[in-house]
Chain A
Amino acid sequence: MSAPDRQQRLTALRDTIADIERKPALAEVRAKSFDARDGNFPRLPGGLLQEVFTDAVRNGGANLGFALGQAKTLLTPKRMAVLYLQLTSDGQFFGLPYGPGLLSFGFDPAQLVIVRVSDMRDFLWVAEESLACRAVAGIVADIGGDPEPLDFTASRRLSLRAAESGTSLFLLRYGAERQASAAHLRWCLTPHRSGRKRFDEQAPGAPRWSLELEKGVALGRQTQFLLEWTENGFATLPVEPGRKSRHRPTLPFAFPTRLADGLSQAARV
């Protein structure tokens, strides 16, 4: 068997495996718009399951801001709604999205549908049902703790649904625990000191987030981002050297995490 032939067959096999793994969204978008053209934070396309982890509920505002900021870029005339999903019992604990606040963030509250469910079973049902709807731009789901029904199988179902319909799902998670999941991207978010406000040194300025990509490939090999919110979306700031995620030690390459990471390894050249 000659070498080029062998090479071809290997490529074909890899393609087959990639097909079996059904990650069309990731495979496609990695080639297209995930690339680091100018070092800016990429405008991530729809159809991704993204987990946004943060250490505690007190960062809920930053978490929601990051998800809505991304969901806003996904809104089109055809996809004109964003769903916010929460357990009814968590309302007071997390707080609810606030109309005038959405306005001042630059998000039209008329485009937000808030769904409050009583248990995790309904939660997952709503998530799947809305993911299947091609008129929904994105779903932002607040999940406190580590609920039993949201296991690897459930997240795999959700990620397949998302990839199929092109609707993005943002799971806002809290805490340092990381379970295995089939999310395409996993972010670790920490709030960052706000920018300078003009004419008022004392006041908080534009919101900033510092992000670390824990899983998936977004921007070449870059995993650390520092973002600032502007009227036109995210602006990327240079990452301060020496700033490290505080959560690194708590997840010393946990076996399930590696396993989930490995999903795409077969297709990786």
Chain B
Amino acid sequence: MGQSVADARALVPRLAIRELDRPMLENAFASFADWHSNASPLVSVLTDMTPYGDLILDITGVPHLFGGEKIMLSMMISRLRQVGYTVSGAIAPTIGAAWAVSHFVGNRVVTPKTIVTLLDSLPIPALRLGRDQIAALTQMGLLTIGQVRQRPRKPLQARFGASFLIRLDQAYGEIEERMTPRLPIVEHFVERRFHEPISQLDDVLAAARELAQKLCAALESDGLGAQTFHLFLYRVDHKVMTLSLNAARLTRDPQHIVSLFHHRAQRFEVEEFDPGFGIDMVRLAASSLDRLDVAQLGAFETENGAADIDRLTDRLTSRLGPTAVLKVELVESHIPERAARLAPAVVAETESPLSRPRPRRPLRLLPMPELVRINAEVPDGLPASMIWRRQPYRLIKGAGPERLGAEWWRKRERLQLVEEVEPEELEPGEKAKQPPYVAALPLHDPEASTRDYYLVEDTDGRRFWVFRQGFYDGDLPPAWYLHGFFP
């Protein structure tokens, strides 16, 4: 460690040298960490001390499933040793203590009773301190944590900074230390372990079906429904695959959940489904929970199609992706392309449109207006002929113009409201008048962005929506565009 390549070569002439691929290693460690969520759902990687981080598991309420803390620790360490890793781990009431014990003592379970004596005997670097802090402390002859802990706190803070005291308190559990879980926190989950690893996608989905029924039974007994579902697939080779999906409304219908995963998996198949050496555990989890009362199917219920529509959009979204299934949202704006917005149907809020009078608008709008050539009999008159997509049209009817100005307030431009002030010659002794405040924004140029819209009809009865950008008497010649089609 810390040797230069030349020195290493001198020691071992046949040394094979490879460059460290840090991102790859980091990713590998992260997915390795995810895999440990089969022991406890709260997994996090602590990255502040070691290059790729330390694996932290919150095992509150978990050890009894493995037969006690001691057995759990030895199980987790031995299963990693079997794969060929060098492992050291500890169980402790605080993250700081677990880190200290695992790095400086070895595999051990620390209980709240023993934590103080054990930590007191450990050396200073076990506190996760910076290099300068450790150097300064050793210089002062403070070698163990116990020695530091006895000393008055104020001079310590003045000398080594607040972070030192925070680390100390965190290790002893005086203040809480938070961990950020890597995987989404799930409140309800069910899982199934397999004696023989499975690798077929169909088998996975069959397992998911069984799990969905269990999960939904659990949700129903709690009177809950969920909107987000995650399927975690734990591979034998320490990797986790996650499939997450959203439903449009709260649900606990196992059929529906399974069908959503089915559609999602069809897309999955196209991309990649790599079970590696097999999957030995499947977990189905639900999050975004809320109360969902038992629906009463009564004789007087008026059947409403809204639930069916939501279910359909869920199914379509799970296969095609959220950007493929859209709803129209109306926006308060007079600019045609801003007045309507397409939003994913799973999240769109459908409001009833405002009942103010609306001008006539085309049924279809081109996402990008297309350049056309238009001749008008007189400037500012109705267009008389048009060439669009290399086809000529003779226009016989027309309505317009409807002049739409640009929204200058959105473009960070200012209107010409204040006349520029010419500096006057000052009498001796007279103070200069404060000029009016003018924001330092570019001036709004109405010529460049004002549009004149015309509704035109050709000889065969097709109705188009065209607009002219720019004025005839301006500096730039006006340009015509086709923007939409009327029925």
Contact = CB atoms under 8 A, between A and B. Distances in A.
Interface of A: 58-62, 64-66, 68-69, 77-81, 88, 91-92, 94-105, 108-110, 112-118, 122, 125-126, 129-130, 133-136, 190-194, 197, 200, 202-204, 207-209, 229
Contact of B365 (A101, A122, A192, A203): A101
Interface stretch (B18-26, B221-229, B287-295, B460-468): B460-468
Identify the interface centre among A108, A116, A229: most chain B CB within 10 Å of its CB. Answer: A116
B486 A61 contact: yes
Secondary structure dominating the interface of B:
mixed
Contact of B462 (A62, A94, A117, A130): A62
20 contacts: A61-B484, A61-B487, A64-B485, A80-B304, A96-B342, A96-B367, A100-B358, A109-B328, A110-B327, A113-B327, A115-B325, A130-B312, A134-B308, A135-B305, A190-B460, A191-B460, A192-B461, A193-B461, A194-B461, A202-B397
B218 interface: no
Contacts of A102: 328, 363
A229 B487 CA distance: 9
Identify the interface centre among B352, B353, B399, B487: most chain A CB within 10 Å of its CB. Answer: B487
B399 A99 contact: no
B360 interface: yes
Given A113-B309, A204-B455, A95 B485 contact: yes
B93 interface: no
Contacts of B146: none
B368 interface: yes
B309 A208 contact: no
Nearest to A116: B324
A65 B461 CA distance: 14
A98 B398 contact: no
A191 B396 CA distance: 14
Contacts of B323: 116
Contacts of B461: 62, 190-194, 208
Given A114-B342, A194-B457, A96 B365 contact: yes
A228 to B, nearest CB: 11
Contacts of A112: 327-328
A193 to B, nearest CB: 4
A109 B487 contact: no
B345 A204 contact: no
B359 interface: yes
Interface stretch (B70-78, B157-165, B313-321, B470-478): B313-321
B82 interface: no
Contact of A101 (B311, B313, B352, B364): B364
Interface of B: 302-309, 311-313, 315-316, 319-320, 323-330, 336, 339-340, 342, 345, 350-353, 358-368, 382, 388-389, 391, 397-399, 455-457, 459-464, 484-487
A100 B339 contact: yes
Given A61-B463, A95-B367, A110-B352, 6 more contacts: A60-B485, A77-B305, A110-B353, A191-B460, A207-B487, A229-B487
Closest 8 CB pairs of A and B: A65-B487, A61-B485, A135-B305, A99-B340, A135-B308, A203-B399, A95-B364, A98-B365
Identify the interface centre among B305, B312, B363, B485: most chain A CB within 10 Å of its CB. Answer: B363
A126 B326 CA distance: 13
Contacts of B398: 202-204
Given A113-B345, A204-B455, A101 B309 contact: no
A202 B364 contact: no
B351 A68 contact: no
A194 B397 contact: yes
A134 to B, nearest CB: 7
A140 to B, nearest CB: 11
A129 B485 CA distance: 29
A226 to B, nearest CB: 11
Contacts of B325: 113-115
A200 B306 contact: no
A104 B361 contact: yes
Contacts of B389: 58
A58 B463 CA distance: 9
A94 B364 CA distance: 8
Contacts of A69: 487
A40 B445 CA distance: 54
Contact of A129 (B315, B345, B397): B315
A96 B457 CA distance: 20
B364 A110 contact: no
A116 B303 contact: no
B368 A80 contact: no
B462 A108 contact: no
